[in-house]
Amino acid sequence: MLNQPVHLANTHAQVQAAADRMQHISLDEMDQVRLLDRFDKKFVFPLFALPAILSEAARWYRVLEIEGHRILAYRSTYYDTPYLGMYLAHHNRKLNRYKVRRREYLTTGQAFFEIKFKNNKRRTIKKRIPTTNQSPELNKEERKFLKKNTPYKPRELQPAMSNCFERITLVHRHHKERATIDLNLSYTRHAADINLWLPVIAEIKQEATSGFSDLEKILRKHRFLPSRFSKYCIGTILIQPSIKHNRFKELLIRQNKMYYDNAITPLYQRS
């Protein structure tokens, strides 16, 4: 997430300033809107649009602040089968599918082992346990949690990739709604590092699909429409371009267009 192109680094400073102008909410307060069982809607747009979107959102949303930070750093390690069964389940549009990861909250030093389940009603259910395990191998508690909450056996899974990103979390002032805004996404697998400087992934999280969202209205006003974007799946394709990815070709084409429209090439930069 370091050594950004200068014009993107300048925009990142504008994003920080816009977040600093918002009213904040503490982690304890935000826990009242955890939404581990929810409907999600994603939007993908260029970083250059984010300062204006945050400024408009300040009327309806507060921003999470932890230890004086409003842009928080995350690192995730994803687990999958050797043949990438979870990736392929997503690619093949299977419902009742899983995603397994260990997520580190670098600002606070916390870490959780997490399981996300997308059911056949397109509802996302997330379960997690705290962990102090720093080994890529699952420990006893994580293996037990995996067996209890998924059809996978611990010996079936291995680390598939890691990613890092920064996140701004918004909480609606009046409705039970949260939104995460992820930027500066990068991937690592073995010796391959890929940085995605430009895309911002906003995810609106609500209890009902028809829920009212002021952030969605703002995004649509800027002509940004809902778009599917899985950080795990996109990272898998970029690191292993030979893998089956027909379903995601349209998304990759749209991402390329975003880069070309903003005079930035290529889609990703290998370090």
The pLDDT tens digits of the residues spanning 32-88 come to: 666 556 688 999 999 999 999 999 999 999 999 999 999 999 999 999 999 999 999
pLDDT at 256 (0 to 100): 86
pLDDT at 84 (0 to 100): 96
> How large is the average pLDDT for residues 107-129?
90
pLDDT at 206 (0 to 100): 84
pLDDT at 214 (0 to 100): 95
Mean pLDDT check: name the lowest of 44-58, 84-98, 183-197.
Answer: 183-197
Domains along the sequence of the chain with CATH: 6-270 (2.40.320.10)
pLDDT at 190 (0 to 100): 72
> How large is the average pLDDT for residues 204-208?
81
pLDDT at 103 (0 to 100): 96
Query: Mean pLDDT over all residues of the chain?
Result: 89
> How large is the average pLDDT for residues 244-256?
89
Judged against a pLDDT cut of 60, whether residue 197 lies above it is answered with yes
Judged against a pLDDT cut of 50, whether residue 15 lies above it is answered with yes
> Which amino acid makes up residue 23?
Q
Judged against a pLDDT cut of 80, whether residue 31 lies above it is answered with no
pTM of the complete model: 0.91
pLDDT at 1 (0 to 100): 45
